[in-house]
């Protein structure tokens, strides 16, 4: 059971040294009880107390790491029900299903493995592959074919422990996820997972069944477990996933594990996409898609990035002066903030126009133009400081700078900060930049 803040406080040194970042040991204990800090934050906790506090300080959802060849996928370590309470940490792993009966395994895997798309400066890829033993006699060979085409982590799917054992033997030194443990075969599955040093996914139609199986399998020495709740409808799946996360956060350890969802079993691509989106937003640690589809993969990866971005830390780009389309000394200098979406919106429009320019990205704590201006993070002083810090004057013979139209009010102040410079007010929207540059600059 979880310990209260007072119980944790009694196990701490009680020196109020403040090295943990809190004014008192009691304050640190309260944060520790609320899962808002790590026990490692206290440098003087005794080994005995550390052992006693290990369970209380551990994240409510166990961290599970699937290992391929030099590539890992992690799920778990989550500490909240809603991302705005703190943040979600380990992104849902997106896996593509490969059936052992297929004849073109290498080609399909290679195509999905090579998939990479850049979104706001972040490279998106497939996370791994799930090999299903629909033809058990070809399972091991299918795994070998998959492994020959990719180094990404694997999920192995079969209800037969012997088949999974043979499949896991093909992956020495790796940590796959074995999927197929049920109330009917859990003992044999636990032995296979223990021998292979693999994670084990447990299927069940109710919370009671899942909790009972996790306790039994843990007693067999298998700690790395994944839950595969058996919701039959979108509503049912949502309810089960929410109940599992809620109970885990209340330190019901029997359900404190990442979840596995297979929306491809829904029967249609449309329904698969809806279930996959729901799974990403509502707590799935691993999602297995029936087939590789670039358009679906891109949509899910963008959704996942938005859900797993820390709401208190916007995606940022590094401030600096960026050349676009090989600018010359007389090319214009455009100003924007270091919020990634703002930066890429401006940069992509200018690059697509073919017009040369320099883009001065000002450190605005990762906020968009209007938000940063309203918060006092994007003003004349900061812009002038960036102009000097990044040596803009030395790279242009046309002392002209273009500020976003949304902050036209800064033009007068910026003229005072940058004497001798001409301050131009650009359009409000990035899409209007090419026309503005052609007509006004």
User: Are 45 and 133 found together in one domain?
Assistant: no
CA 224 – CA 300 distance, rounded (Å): 26
- Residue 350 and residue 300 share a domain: no
The answer, yes or no, to whether residue 64 has pLDDT greater than 90, is yes
pTM equals: 0.79
- Average pLDDT on 216-243 reads 93
Residue 281 has pLDDT above 70, yes or no: yes
**Are residue 388 and residue 303 in the same domain, yes or no?**
no
Measured between alpha carbons, how far is 82 from 311 in angstroms, rounded to an integer?
11
Q: What is the pLDDT of residues 95-154, one digit of tens each?
A: 999 999 999 999 999 999 999 998 877 899 999 999 999 999 999 999 999 999 999 999
Query: pLDDT category, 323, cuts 50, 70, 90?
Result: very high
How many angstroms separate the Cα of 36 from the Cα of each of 26, 41, 57, 321?
14, 11, 10, 38
272 pLDDT more than 90 = yes
Taking the C-alpha atoms of residue 195 and residue 398, their distance in angstroms, rounded to an integer, is 70
pLDDT at 55: 66
| 6 CB burial (10 A radius; 0-12, 13-18, 19+) | exposed
The pair of structure tokens assigned to 200 is: 């084990």
Q: Is residue 312 part of a domain?
A: no
Examine the fold and report which residue of 36, 57, 78 is the final residue of a domain before the chain moves on. Answer: 57
Residue environment code for 402-436, b if the CB has 16+ CB neighbours within 10 A, otherwise e: bbbebbeebeeebeebbeebebbbbbeebeebbeb
> Beta-carbon neighbour count of residue 191 at 10 Å?
15
Please give the mean pLDDT across all residues of the chain. 93
CA distance linking residue 245 with residue 256, whole number of Å:
8
Question: Residue 180: inside a domain, yes or no?
Answer: yes
Q: 205 with 248, same domain?
A: yes
Instruction: Give the CA angle between residues 154, 211, 181 to the nearest 5°.
Output: 35
CATH at residue 411 = 3.40.50.11600
153 and 281 inside one domain: yes
The stretch 279-303 carries a mean pLDDT of: 96
286, 307, 328 - which closes a domain:
307
Q: Is residue 211 part of a domain?
A: yes
- Do 17 and 116 share a domain, yes or no? no
| 210 within some domain | yes
Q: At what angle do helices 139-149 and 161-168 cross, to 10 degrees?
A: 30
Question: Residue 187 belongs to a domain with what CATH number?
Answer: 3.20.20.20
CATH assignment at residue 33: 1.10.15.40
Strand partners, 333: 358, 401
Half-sphere exposure of 295 (CA within 13 A, CB side): 3
Q: Checking DSSP bridges between strand 320-324 and strand 284-289, what pairing results, if any?
A: unpaired
Domain that holds residue 198: 64-307
Whether residues 353 and 373 share a domain: the answer is yes
Segments of 363-414 assigned E as strands: 400-403
339: DSSP letter: B
Query: Which band of pLDDT confidence, cut at 50, 70 and 90, is reported for residue 266?
Result: low
Question: What share of the chain has pLDDT > 70, as a percent?
Answer: 98
What single string gives the DSSP state of each residue in 165-199? Answer: HHHHTTSTT-B-EEEEE-TTTHHHHHHHHHHHT-E
What per-residue confidence (pLDDT) applies to 348? 92
* pLDDT number for residue 38: 77
Please count the residues of the chain: 441
Q: What is the pLDDT of residues 422-440, one digit of tens each?
A: 999 999 999 999 999 998 8
Predicted confidence (pLDDT) at residue 378 exceeds the cutoff of 70: yes
List, for residues 105-118, the tens digit of each pLDDT value.
999 999 999 999 98
Residue 160: pLDDT band by 50, 70, 90 thresholds? very high
Mean pLDDT for the stretch of residues 400-418: 95
351: left (phi over 0), alpha (psi -120 to 50) or beta: alpha
Say what the pLDDT of residue 56 is: 63
Residue 299 domain-assigned (yes or no): yes
> In this structure, is the dihedral angle defined by the CA atoms of residues 93, 96, 99 and 100, taken in order, positive or negative?
negative
The answer on 267 and 410 residing in a single domain is no
Is it the case that residue 193 has pLDDT exceeding 90? yes
The continuous run of DSSP H or E covering 235 comes out as helix 234-249
Residue 66's Cβ-count burial label (10 Å; 0-12, 13-18, 19+) is buried
Residue 313, in any domain of the structure? no
Is 76's pLDDT higher than 60?
Answer: yes
Q: What's the average model confidence in pLDDT over 35-54?
A: 82
The candidate with the shortest Cα–Cα distance to 168, out of 197, 148, 188, 146, is 197
Q: How confident is the model at residue 86 (pLDDT cuts 50, 70, 90)?
A: confident
pLDDT for residue 53: 79
Instruction: Give the per-residue pLDDT at 118.
Output: 87
The region that residue 367 occupies, defined by phi over 0 for left and psi between -120 and 50 for alpha, beta otherwise, is beta
Is there a single domain that holds both residue 197 and residue 284?
Answer: yes
What total of structural domains would you count in the chain?
3
Domain contains 314 = no
Give residue 429's pLDDT.
94
DSSP letter at 45 equals: -
Residue 315 belongs to some domain of the structure: no
- Looking at the structure, tell me whether residues 300 and 404 fall in a common domain: no
* More confident: 59 or 116: 116
**What is the structure's pLDDT at 181?**
97
SS3 2: coil
**Strand partners of residue 75:** 64
Q: Are residues 30 and 79 in the same domain?
A: no
Residue-wise pLDDT tens digits, 168-184: 999 999 999 999 999 99
Q: Please tell me whether residues 233 and 338 are part of one structural domain.
A: no
Rounded Cα distance between 338 and 325, Å, is 20
Please identify, among 256, 280, 307, the residue that sits at the C-terminal boundary of a domain. 307
pLDDT band for position 69 (50/70/90)? very high
């Amino acid at each position: 059971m979880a310990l209260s803040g007072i119980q944790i406080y009694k196990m701490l040194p009680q020196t109020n040294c403040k090295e943990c970042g809190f004014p008192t040991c009691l304050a640190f204990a309260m944060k520790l009880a609320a899962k808002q800090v790590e026990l490692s934050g206290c440098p003087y906790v005794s080994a005995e107390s550390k052992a006693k506090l290990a369970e209380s300080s551990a994240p409510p959802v166990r961290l599970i790491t699937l290992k391929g060849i030099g590539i890992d996928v992690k799920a778990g370590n989550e500490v909240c029900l809603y991302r705005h309470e703190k943040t979600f940490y380990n992104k849902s792993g997106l896996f593509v299903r490969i059936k052992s009966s297929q004849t073109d395994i290498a080609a399909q895997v290679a195509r999905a493995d090579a998939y990479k798309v850049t979104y706001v400066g972040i490279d998106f890829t497939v996370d791994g592959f799930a090999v299903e033993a629909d033809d058990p006699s070809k399972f091991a060979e299918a795994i070998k074919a998959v492994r020959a085409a990719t180094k990404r982590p694997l999920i192995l799917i079969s209800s037969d422990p012997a088949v999974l054992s043979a499949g896991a033997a093909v992956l020495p030194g790796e940590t796959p996820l074995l999927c197929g443990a049920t109330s009917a075969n859990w003992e044999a599955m636990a032995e296979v997972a223990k021998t292979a040093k693999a994670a084990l996914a447990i299927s069940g139609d109710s919370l009671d069944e899942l909790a009972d199986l996790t306790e039994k399998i843990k007693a067999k020495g298998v700690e790395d477990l994944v839950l595969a709740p058996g919701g039959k409808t979108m509503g049912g799946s949502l309810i089960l996933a929410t109940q599992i996360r809620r109970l885990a956060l209340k330190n019901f350890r029997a359900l404190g594990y990442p979840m596995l969802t297979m929306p491809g079993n829904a029967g249609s691509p449309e329904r698969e996409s809806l279930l996959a989106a729901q799974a990403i937003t509502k707590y799935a640690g691993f999602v297995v898609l029936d087939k590789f589809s670039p358009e679906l993969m891109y949509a899910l990866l963008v959704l996942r990035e938005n859900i797993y971005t820390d709401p208190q830390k916007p995606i940022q780009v590094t401030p600096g002066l960026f050349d676009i389309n090989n600018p010359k000394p007389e090319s214009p200098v455009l100003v924007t903030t270091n919020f990634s979406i703002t930066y890429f919106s401006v940069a992509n429009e200018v690059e697509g126009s073919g017009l040369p320019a320099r883009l001065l990205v000002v450190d605005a704590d990762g906020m968009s133009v209007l938000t940063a201006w309203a918060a006092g993070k994007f003003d004349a002083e900061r812009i002038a400081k960036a102009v000097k810090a990044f040596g803009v004057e030395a790279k242009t013979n046309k002392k002209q700078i273009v500020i976003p139209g949304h902050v036209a009010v800064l033009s007068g102040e910026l003229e005072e900060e940058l004497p001798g410079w001409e301050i131009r007010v650009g359009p409000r929207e990035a899409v209007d930049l090419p026309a503005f540059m052609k007509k006004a600059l």
